[in-house]
Structure 1
Amino acid sequence: MAANQDSERLKREAARRALDLVEPGMRLGLGTGTTARHFVDLLGEKVAQGLKVRCVATSEATLAQAKGLNIPMTTLDDMPELDLTVDGADEVDPELRLIKGGGGALLREKIVAAASLSMAVIADASKAVARLGAFPLPVEVVPFGLVSTRRHIEKALEGLGAPGELVLRGGPKPFVTDGGHFILDCRLGAIADPERLAAALSVIPGVVEHGLFIGYARVAFIAGADAVRTLGRL
């Protein structure tokens, strides 16, 4: 219990640092996951104190949380360009490449990140890695033709010299994303060339999106036991 409380404290400290980037009138993207929840909570406190912002959520869960805190929400259809997105990550490397999607919202997270002028990542120190891949890479796929799509992904991984186990999230009762898709978690151990892997996955029919976020994050706030360190800058 104490370890979990300490982890949550670190996540909140990282979220608090990201909140310092928010200025009145900003258009914000709100991430999904345990760390992003802290940012939404803290943002809600600022809104209650009079901060004026407009926000887009990356998942139905985040939307419900934000509405519960009376944070003004809209959609990318009504506000297609954002100033800043704040989101967590399952892994972040020294070049600010990310693995995301542990919470199952990678498609909407990437759409929102792509609509943003800047992206800030918030995480505890356990998410900072020298090389991506220890965390299983989520690949969002359409249910139709799942076995065929899976085989194509396996061949692509083998062609890159990175074979791994692909696990359907949820097993017999598959996890279904907000977009109505399934997720294959690719247990690779390590990813030698994230850019090549991202390109290979993106061209496979049936793959909707993958959890490699490359070129999106501009800054990351990593909360350690003693301090919050910053990678990159806006």
Structure 2
Amino acid sequence: MLSQNELKQQVAKAAVEYIQPFLGSGVVVGVGTGSTADLFIDHLAGFKDQFMAAAASSERSAQRLAGLGIPVLDLNEVQGMPVYVDGADEINARLQMIKGGGGALTREKIVASVAERFICIADESKVVERLGKFAIPLEVIPMAVNAVARKMRTLGGDPVLREGFITDNGNPILDVAGFSLDDAAQMEAIMNNVPGVVTCGLFAIAPASVALIATQQGLRTMKV
């Protein structure tokens, strides 16, 4: 039986193979954040002569890319990208996700928005029928933490401040538990419209284009 790390290695390698047809001399690859994204970066380094640069969704990923000799561009220098590759904390059959367990949700959503395709990579434990068992992260302006928390309670959520954590943008995160979402896109819109919320960790309005899922039986490809 494969360990979770072995499953992550499997899907990270598969993701590099999946994106190879999109690579080229002027191509920028969008790269996410997290343990699975770290492994993707490691495998991507073996093909760094096949594309121009990467755009990273966090300082952590940027440092890992640069350390492996992959040029990293500021997103303001990037006109477009064929692919963005990132993991998920939860993903459903509609390829809607909860992301942000690592705290990079805002930059992840921004970088993903510039790419033509979002390739989600995950192991089978992340696939769920309904989103919400994993607490939904909200990046929040500091002065709005209590106001946003009160609003989340009126929606039926249980918000908890992520202690000792500040995002790359200098903001705290509220993790909101207590939801089982039939309409994740509607909840994303509601959360994003709460004053003080920078970004919510629901990626439902703009879901993944394809999901590569590592299972004990091999790689599974999910499309809508």
User: TM-score, normalised to structure 1's length?
Assistant: 0.89
Higher deviation after alignment, 208-217 or 60-69: 208-217
**Any conservation in 2 of the 1:19–1:42 contact (CA below 8 Å)?**
yes
> Counterpart in 2 of 1:44?
45
1:216 matched to 2:207: yes
Distance 2:160 2:74 in 1: 32
**Any conservation in 1 of the 2:94–2:207 contact (CA below 8 Å)?**
no
> Counterpart in 2 of 1:29?
30
**Any conservation in 2 of the 1:29–1:84 contact (CA below 8 Å)?**
yes
Q: CA deviation at 1:191?
A: 1.5
Q: CA deviation at 1:189?
A: 4.3
Distance 1:105 1:195 in 2: 20
Q: Secondary structure at the match of 1:145?
A: helix
Distance 1:184 1:146 in 2: 8
Q: Secondary structure at the match of 2:75?
A: coil
Q: CA deviation at 1:204?
A: 0.8
Q: Which amino acid aligns with 1:168?
A: L
Give matches, 1:128-147, under 5 Å: 128-147=127-146
Q: 2:181 aligns with which of 184, 187, 191?
A: 191
Deviations 1:113-148 (A, max 9, x none): 001111100000000111111111101101113212
Percent identity of paired positions between Structure 1 and Structure 2: 39
> Counterpart in 2 of 1:230?
221
Q: 2:162 aligns with which of 158, 169, 173?
A: 169
Give matches, 1:3-14, under 5 Å: 6-14=3-11
Q: Secondary structure at the match of 1:134?
A: coil
Distance 2:127 2:83 in 1: 21
Q: Cα RMSD over matched residues?
A: 1.5
What is the number of equivalent residue pairs in this alignment? 219
> Counterpart in 2 of 1:96?
95
Give matches, 1:108-123, under 5 Å: 108-123=107-122
**Any conservation in 1 of the 2:100–2:201 contact (CA below 8 Å)?**
yes
**Any conservation in 2 of the 1:153–1:204 contact (CA below 8 Å)?**
no
1:179 matched to 2:176: no
Q: Secondary structure at the match of 2:146?
A: helix
